[in-house]
Structure 1
């Protein structure tokens, strides 16, 4: 990296945070992470915004568990999206282990990207286990045709559902299914979808989130529903930088083939599983459309204002 210009540095935001989703809203970069703390302390969400990918401003408690009547244990792994002037915020809560428990994937809504977000349903949007997928780690993706897909799953299984235009109810696929199993090889959790040059890049986390081998792999498909054949890893630990690198979000500079990966990792000095930091690095594609392995850095990225 050219060090003659200032860079963001990594971690890009202070504090222990994980599972970052990254978006561009209102001509600002946004990072929406999990508050990385002992499980019972994950009772709220903060957000961060920037004009240039370098200088970040914190918005505290954009959503709190006390405002979600059915959430009682913890909340994590947010994924927001804008649709028709409203902001929809999907998240996991309660870590249910069976269909006899209340919890799963919720949705909150706000008029602004900084919230405050309010529970939209009074109950989970997805509150049961289908195809063996624990209802955690939602990721929302809207295709060019306006159709919204919600990818989610843990326990080594991944599902996709299609949302109605209201963004708070589930649609039915043409074949009559509501929940489609799209699990690629070695999937663990943390799905993420981007579209580039009319191809769908589906990414996910592998390994255990608390260990050093947490990592990110990907597949390429011609449809948002797959099939997703695993290509390989694009993000993993580096003995000189950090371990446990995974559960990421992506930013594309509008109108450019310029991509950034926002992810969490554990500093080499840390053994506490909750000591995770949010970092940002460039992501590059090869000429054949495959993704180059990400080089984790301490420098981060150069200034990148939107619209220049």
Structure 2
């Protein structure tokens, strides 16, 4: 009788007598639940961050969430770090955030409204916050880029910081990619020495989703190819001697595996600080899913061969092992 009373007491106050759950050995893929795409990965201090597109119909894409992790395995969701209520000119299709920390503040670049011509309202905007989880507010009160230059739709922005601390915005849909110089406070673009503002760096096969990083003195330029709703979506890359290329396509880095997932693409890359460990963060479509917006965020290992070329990534269900930042 006394034993029953004790059991009833523990149940009443919510204390579980079950053994504690085992710690996750790998992240698993997807790394967090929900339909998300176009993940931008970043490292701030000793924390990993992922800023994705909320994958839904365009008129439902009116906000952005973020996710943080100490180890690439356990992720915490930060809801609505930015939404259209704080961006008065944006009303739908908030896409592909890109994040940069500068002078103690966090700048979030995003595309909005999916404009189809120069007379439409929208394009690439900039938001700012004091913390990586926001809340973010409009930085300039209007789009940073709101026209088609060199044929590039103003979407899918990425911000690259070069070794000389010059920041560039690299962006573009509709099979065209531009690079432009950002001014010091990210309120405008600065012309190049020849007077031009936008330079085309479009490589063969480019469709959208540009990403750039520097390794061993070389500039690695990566992009997505194929149609985003189809199984042939994939990531390719080139290597150049400057952010302006020229970039000649070397090969495919990431693509579907019919036994794992389809439509693997629109990625970013994490280099664990102080190491030569690299991870690719991307979206893909689970097997059997036919809705174009049913995409999930995944992480897998990315390695280089002796020539500095990127080896094809094997997409997995397991994901990656825990990796703390020292």
* TM-score normalised over the length of structure 1: 0.97
Q: Which residue of 1 aligns with 2:128?
A: 109
Q: Tell me, yes or no, if the aligned pair for 2:46 and 2:324 is still in contact at 8 Å.
A: no
Which of the numbers 33, 52, 59 marks the counterpart of 1:33?
A: 52
Match of 2:107, SS state, is strand
Q: Tell me, yes or no, if the aligned pair for 2:158 and 2:210 is still in contact at 8 Å.
A: yes
- Between the aligned partners of 1:301 and 1:141, the Cα distance in structure 2 is 25
With 73-82 and 27-36 compared, the bigger mean Cα shift is at 73-82
Q: Does the alignment pair 1:123 with 2:142? A: yes
Q: Tell me, yes or no, if the aligned pair for 1:65 and 1:74 is still in contact at 8 Å.
A: no
Shift of 1:158: 0.2
- Between the aligned partners of 1:210 and 1:193, the Cα distance in structure 2 is 24
Q: Which residue of 2 aligns with 1:71?
A: 90
Shift of 1:73: 2.5
- Between the aligned partners of 2:266 and 2:309, the Cα distance in structure 1 is 19
Match of 1:67, SS state, is coil
Shift of 1:25: 1.0
Q: Which residue of 1 aligns with 2:9?
A: none
Q: Which residue of 2 aligns with 1:140?
A: 159
Match of 1:183, SS state, is coil
Q: Which residue of 2 aligns with 1:266?
A: 285
Shift of 1:204: 0.3
- Between the aligned partners of 2:122 and 2:57, the Cα distance in structure 1 is 18
Which of the numbers 173, 186, 193 marks the counterpart of 1:154?
A: 173
Shift of 1:230: 0.6
Q: Which residue of 1 aligns with 2:101?
A: 82
Which of the numbers 177, 192, 200 marks the counterpart of 2:219?
A: 200
- Between the aligned partners of 1:171 and 1:263, the Cα distance in structure 2 is 31
Q: Does the alignment pair 1:277 with 2:296? A: yes
- Between the aligned partners of 1:120 and 1:26, the Cα distance in structure 2 is 24
Q: Which residue of 2 aligns with 1:48?
A: 67
* TM-score normalised over the length of structure 2: 0.92
Q: Which residue of 1 aligns with 2:110?
A: 91
Cα deviation 1:213-266 (Å, max 9, x = unaligned)? 100000000101111111111000101100000000110011211100000000
In angstroms, what is the RMSD of aligned CA positions?
Answer: 0.8
Q: Tell me how many residue pairs correspond in the alignment.
A: 303
- Between the aligned partners of 2:243 and 2:179, the Cα distance in structure 1 is 9
Q: Runs of 4 or more off by more than 3 Å in structure 1?
A: none
Q: Which residue of 1 aligns with 2:197?
A: 178
- Between the aligned partners of 2:80 and 2:64, the Cα distance in structure 1 is 5
- Between the aligned partners of 2:61 and 2:319, the Cα distance in structure 1 is 27
